[in-house]
Chains A and B, each alone.
Chain A
């Protein structure tokens, strides 16, 4: 069984929800990213999303844009990140998904990437500019290699599309909490609980919610409705503020632990 499916199954048994954390690989450098992944796991993260930087991240807000830029300044490539995951697999079996845009994936080559991902121990891909219609070939290749293509759902997605997204996705479905780009927000839409319920009519796999989630209160609130909660920009912003400081990794760890306080 894929590590993602196993994780959701395990959490369900314990009546727990998944805490999914995003960091951009190569920000501030790959060695630190490796340490951060282990620290995130140690402090309660259930699943890791590793951002693969792209020069034109249209779904990302300023925080993650800057992280991608820092990573690209180090010339971090998809191949480097696969290498990092391979190293991490000697120490950790936490589910790891790569989150990127379609162009770096397309240039690598889908079949070649799927094979390399399996070899490295990557479990799935989140590609926010790939729609299920445009991604059919990609989904097929990923699924053939037991990798999870995770598609996104927005508050505006129709029922008919939800069914399609459910069919094309594996691992979980990513619910985007707001119409917008990534970035910490102080408040989330009021009707998110109602949306979460209506999703279940079409989606028969775990649903994780992300975009805008930045504190323990939100994590707790959203855990009531979703199977997983994704925190990204809030973590990336702590990394940004502590670049060059010795306790960067520990600070990120403490923040992630604090997210669990009310879980």
Chain B
């Protein structure tokens, strides 16, 4: 079972944090181990996922997209239909229930696109927790709608002006806050990254995506899918979809990273394509960095994919060959966005659009009896202003 006792997935993961955080990580691990198989906790989590977040989300057969590509059958796992409009709520409900059990009255988080931030702000309102969310100043600019949503939910959004002013820097600031206020505060990390036990906890809370998808596809097609496709940065929606199929060796996993302008351009966010093993934000994983170990600036049109690292379990899947990691450019993602809107009447998040972009490379080549499930991790409403501006400037 991975991760091991020390939080490693093979050579990846672990705990690389200031000593001050050790008791908090230990407490989190202890409480999680206590409750994860506890019937009352599972019941409470299931209740909120169903009654509050609206789960299960549908597994929708995308008939028009399928016939357009003329190959494999394409199913969309509709995480965009979950409450708050993305898969992030699966994790924040779970972690809020842990925070309550630890008696922590304040929660903090980092956010890139603002989807995690909104999901955190939502559970903070629901469970009456004080909440502050760190967000890069550049991301605040390109995801204004989500900033306003968080504020309306009663959360304070703190702009981060250091470094590249994106997700990486928001995470630095959140960690600094946590080191300072660790006695009273739970850090609600939003991806399957960071120090152990976060990659484990976030994965487990997100596996509801894959568990539902498995049941749904078995019902619809009486068999398992051939491919699972999801966008990857930290990679929580991808790991949530993949993990329940881990032992179904015939099911292939494909993670799609953000290439920005292209993997060979100076600023990309394709960690798996261009990264080397390094340590950032508490764990060992692939990382975009220079030869001296300084973390590289990244670029992606999708704020939620604009990060130089990747969750350690994904690094392990790459390392062992269990999953394949590919990438899509900003432009390819925008084309995929338009295509899904016109073909299926669904506006996908720019992050999810990266996964959709890869369909054109794989779906037409596959037989019609093959099945692909794409994780539609979030909805695109938050991106409308950014897309509008980009089209006006062309």
Interface residues of A (CB under 8 A from B): 54-59, 61-62, 65, 72, 77-78, 101-108, 128-131, 133-134, 151-158, 161, 165, 176, 179-181
The answer to whether the Cβ of B356 comes within 8 Å of any Cβ in the partner chain is no
> Which residue of chain B has its CB nearest to the CB of A158?
B23
Q: What are the residues of chain A within 8 A of B6 when measuring CB–CB? A: 133
Cα of A154 to Cα of B162 in the assembled complex, Å: 26
Is the beta-carbon distance between A72 and B176 smaller than 8 angstroms? no
Interface SS of chain A: helix, strand, loop or mixed? loop
Given known A179-B182, A180-B179, contact A65–B15 (CB-CB < 8 A):
no
Is the beta-carbon distance between B16 and A134 smaller than 8 angstroms? yes
Cα of A44 to Cα of B17 in the assembled complex, Å: 32
Cα of A64 to Cα of B30 in the assembled complex, Å: 34
> Which residue of chain A has its CB nearest to the CB of B295?
A55
Contact residue among A56, A62, A104, A179 (Cβ-Cβ distance under 8 Å from B281)? A56
Contact with A along B281-297 (1 / 0, CB 8 A): 11000010101111100
Could you write out 11 A-B pairs with CB less than 8 Å apart?
A: A58-B175, A65-B162, A108-B292, A129-B17, A130-B16, A151-B19, A154-B20, A161-B19, A176-B19, A179-B181, A179-B183
Is the beta-carbon distance between A134 and B15 smaller than 8 angstroms? yes
Given known A104-B293, A106-B279, A180-B179, contact A59–B16 (CB-CB < 8 A):
no
The answer to whether the Cβ of B331 comes within 8 Å of any Cβ in the partner chain is no
Is the beta-carbon distance between B278 and A103 smaller than 8 angstroms? yes
Q: What are the residues of chain B within 8 A of A101 when measuring CB–CB? A: 279
Interface residues of B (CB under 8 A from A): 6, 14-20, 22-23, 162-163, 168-169, 172, 175-176, 179-183, 278-282, 287, 289, 291-295
Known pairs A56-B172, A107-B278, A131-B16 / 16 extra A-B pairs, C-beta < 8 Å? A54-B293, A103-B287, A106-B293, A129-B18, A129-B279, A130-B16, A131-B15, A133-B15, A152-B19, A153-B19, A154-B19, A157-B22, A161-B22, A179-B181, A180-B20, A181-B176
Cα of A102 to Cα of B195 in the assembled complex, Å: 14
A-B contact count (CB 8 A): 108
> Which residue of chain A has its CB nearest to the CB of B175?
A58
The 6 A-B pairs with the shortest beta carbon distances in the complex, nearest first, are A107-B293, A154-B20, A104-B293, A180-B180, A103-B293, A55-B294
Cα of A36 to Cα of B17 in the assembled complex, Å: 30
Cα of A57 to Cα of B162 in the assembled complex, Å: 11
Cα of A180 to Cα of B19 in the assembled complex, Å: 11
Cα of A129 to Cα of B281 in the assembled complex, Å: 9
Q: What are the residues of chain B within 8 A of A106 when measuring CB–CB? A: 278-279, 293
Shortest CB distance A112–B (Å):
13
Cα of A106 to Cα of B18 in the assembled complex, Å: 17
> Which residue of chain B has its CB nearest to the CB of A105?
B293
> Which residue of chain A has its CB nearest to the CB of B174?
A58
Q: What are the residues of chain A within 8 A of B289 when measuring CB–CB? A: 103, 107
Cα of A58 to Cα of B183 in the assembled complex, Å: 18
Q: What are the residues of chain B within 8 A of A128 when measuring CB–CB? A: 18-19
